[in-house]
Structure formats: structure tokens, C-alpha cells
Amino acid sequence: MSTELHHIEPVSSATASRLNWLRAGVLGANDGIISTAGVVIGVAAATPERTAILVAGLATLAAGAMSMAVGEYVSVSTQRDSERAMLEKERRELEDFPEEELEELAGIYRAKGISDELAHQVATQLTAHDALAAHAEAELKIDPDELTNPWHAAWASMVAFTLGAILPLAAILLTPIAFHVVVTVSAVLLALALTGVISAYLGGSATTPAVVRVVLGGALAMAITWVIGTLVGMQVG
């Protein structure tokens, strides 16, 4: 009987949480690469002045990083508030209706195919150990000890975007003017292909479609901003 109990013990969410952070970091870096590359390529098409390219690139980096940080903070704060509200509601129900909550927990395990006797035994033991944690994990899919941290999310998104944005900015500024667009586009597409491979690996999906999507998306963004920059440059010139 005890062996069976170990098999149905809830799995820790630590690994899944780390993978989610890694995926978020890759996506943030991907956004930084595409956003900054699109801007600097567009400006470079309009003017060869490095100062203009630098200012536009830094402005994009700063604005994008702050936007990612604020957006992630607001989003995760909302999620955390919702998780806390659900946990508080569950805590009150455990205090006011302990028997009904015990039966509810047993019912969750019965629905997974466990026998009535074993389901009730599991629910009783888990409730005696930590009733709130047992209900949170089985019913709400929340680990009370691992609620999402909005500050961590904000900093991670800002850093990931910044690191991604540095690549196209450095490529276009450190390359001779005659080749800076070609070198930047090549570096960006290679970096996007790498982010596609990493995101596919972390998500357990097929690599080729993920790489094709992100590379084509980045290429399209740069092509559009290049055309716009060229047209603007022609008008200004």
C-alpha cells in the first residue's frame, strides 16, 4: 500500500518552472534581436550616419527593455494576486468545511483511477501533512511555496531583451559601412536560428518549423524596415 502512495505523490514543479523561465528568456532575447535589428536596419537604409544609428538603436534597446520589464511585472503580479486569492479561498473552505474538502480531495484521486479506499487514504494522509498544499496542488495546480515573483520576471525579461538587442547594434556599429547591413542581417538570422533551436528543444517540439518561423519573421521585419528606411531616405535626400 505504501508503495502505491509514493507513485501518486504530486510531482515537484521546480523543473517545469525553470524551463518556463528559460523559454521566457529565449523569447525575450528573440524580441530584442528582432526589434533592434529592424530599427537599425531601417535607419541605416535612410542614412549612413553612425550617430543616428547608435541613437536609434540605444533608444530601441532602452524602450524595449523597459517595456518588457513593466509588461512582465504587471502580468506576473496579476497572476500572483490571482493565485493568492485562490489560496485564501481554499484556506477558508478548509477551515469551514473540512469534511467536504477531504471528500473533494479524495474525489480528485478517484477521478484519476485510484480505488475509493486508497483515494480516501491518500487524501487523509496528505490533509494531515499539509491540507492547503495538498488541495492547492491537486485542485488548483498551484505550489504555495513557489508562487511566481513579478520582480524576478521583470528583471529576467529586461536582461534577456537587452542581451538580444546588443547583437544587431554591435554588428552594425562595428562593421565597415560598406558591409554593415549584410553583416548585421547575417548575424541576426544566425542568432534567430539559434533561438529557434533552443526554444524548440525547451518546448520539446520539432526544430525545423520553429527555426523557419523565427528566421522568416526576422527576415520579413528587417526587409520591411529596410524598404521604409530607403523610401524615407530618398524623400529626405
* Joined grid coordinates for residue 234: 530618398
18 or 72: which carries more pLDDT confidence? Answer: 72
Dihedral sign (CA 152, 197, 194, 28): negative
Q: Could you give the angle at which helices 98-111 and 116-135 cross, rounded to 10 degrees?
A: 120
Q: What is the pTM of this model?
A: 0.77
Has residue 50 got a pLDDT over 70? yes
CA distance linking residue 64 with residue 71, whole number of Å:
10
Residue of 228, 218, 182 lying closest to 45 (CA atoms): 228
User: What digits encode the pLDDT tens for the residues 136-175?
Assistant: 888 777 877 777 788 888 898 899 999 999 999 999 999 9
CA distance linking residue 121 with residue 123, whole number of Å:
5
Q: What is the rounded average pLDDT for all residues in the chain?
A: 85
